[in-house]
Amino acid sequence: MRVPYITAWTGEVVPRPDVIRITGRVGEGIGYADENPVTDRRHEALWVRSGIAPGRGEPDFRHINSLRQKRAMRYDLCGVCGETVFGIREDERTLHLLGGDSPITEGETTTAPPVHPACAVDSVETCPPLRRGFAAALVEYTTLWGVAGVVFEPVTLAPLPCPGSRPGELEHVHVGGKRIRWTLANFTVHSLHGVTPVSLDELYAMAHSQLLMPGGEPVSVP
């Protein structure tokens, strides 16, 4: 089974420093005692630390590597193979694939990077959560919306439960709001715009036409 580009590996786990209260450039928030302003902070949020060593140890399919997710979102890399998703459609729309039964809606926020059609087919055939239900859509453009992370209570520094979600689920926190300074971010969140839903048949057809292009990867398409 192919290990998706954004999947975490057990050899990438690094020590997690304690979160402390700091007074930064724009006010109070959370930080690390030995914070590196270049690697630990982005969009005003503090970021979890992560190693980057794909292939070291075992793939951990329950977790996503924070650094590769961030890179994939920033540069429009396929979440499955890690290559650019541009260059296969003249209209430059990107394909997005989300788990669950609900269709992708206009303006929806997500931590999932775009995917190639052939990689999407590979995923829906082999990834257990996606086999239980998925939605696909072509998207005209995406914008940075915020981060997904854990928000800390400013007085007690206790992690706050994510409203309306299951325990352990990450909260989507908007860039520009005050809460982002109290957020330990794991992932970049984009919003999806110009959304056109894609059916399973259309997904297979898109994957098939991608395979006819130079550089198309072999994948099991009926």
Structure tokens at 68: 């590769």
Question: Interacting stretch for Zn ion, rule CB under 5 A, among 22-30, 99-107, 117-125, 178-186?
Answer: 117-125
When asked if residue 30 is in the footprint of Zn ion (CB under 5 A), the reply is: no
Residue 200 beta carbon to Zn ion: minimum distance, rounded to whole angstroms: 18
Q: C-alpha angle with apex 30: 27 to 31, nearest 5 degrees?
A: 105
Q: Return d(Cα 79, Cα 197) in angstroms, integer.
A: 19
Whichever of 78 and 185 has its CB closer to Zn ion, that residue is 78
Q: What are phi and psi of 22, to 5 degrees?
A: -130, 160
Q: Return d(Cα 30, Cα 16) in angstroms, integer.
A: 14
When asked if residue 78 is in the footprint of Zn ion (CB under 5 A), the reply is: yes
Range list of H helices, 58-142: 66-75, 117-126, 128-132
**How deeply is 29 buried, as exposed, middle or buried, from its count of CB atoms within 10 A (0-12, 13-18, 19+)?**
buried
Whichever of 119 and 151 has its CB closer to Zn ion, that residue is 119
Q: Which single residue brings its beta carbon nearest to Zn ion?
A: 78
Please count the other Cβ atoms lying within 10 Å of the Cβ belonging to residue 177: 12
The interface with Zn ion within residues 79-108 (CB under 5 A) comprises: 80-81
Residue 80 beta carbon to Zn ion: minimum distance, rounded to whole angstroms: 5
Residue 143 beta carbon to Zn ion: minimum distance, rounded to whole angstroms: 22
Question: Interacting stretch for Zn ion, rule CB under 5 A, among 44-52, 119-127, 130-138, 193-201?
Answer: 119-127
Please count the other Cβ atoms lying within 10 Å of the Cβ belonging to residue 119: 25
How many residues form the binding site for Zn ion (CB under 5 A)?
5
Question: Interacting stretch for Zn ion, rule CB under 5 A, among 77-85, 134-142, 162-170, 181-189?
Answer: 77-85
Structure tokens at 63: 């977790």
Whichever of 73 and 119 has its CB closer to Zn ion, that residue is 119
Whichever of 184 and 192 has its CB closer to Zn ion, that residue is 192
Residue 94 beta carbon to Zn ion: minimum distance, rounded to whole angstroms: 11
Query: What's the one-letter identity of residue 144?
Result: L
Residue 7 beta carbon to Zn ion: minimum distance, rounded to whole angstroms: 13
Q: Return d(Cα 40, Cα 37) in angstroms, integer.
A: 6
When asked if residue 119 is in the footprint of Zn ion (CB under 5 A), the reply is: yes
Residue 171 beta carbon to Zn ion: minimum distance, rounded to whole angstroms: 28
Q: Return d(Cα 165, Cα 167) in angstroms, integer.
A: 7
Q: Return d(Cα 198, Cα 74) in angstroms, integer.
A: 24
Kindly tell me which residue out of 68, 116, 172, 181 binds Zn ion, with binding defined by CB under 5 A.
Answer: 116
Sites of contact with Zn ion (CB under 5 A): 78, 80-81, 116, 119
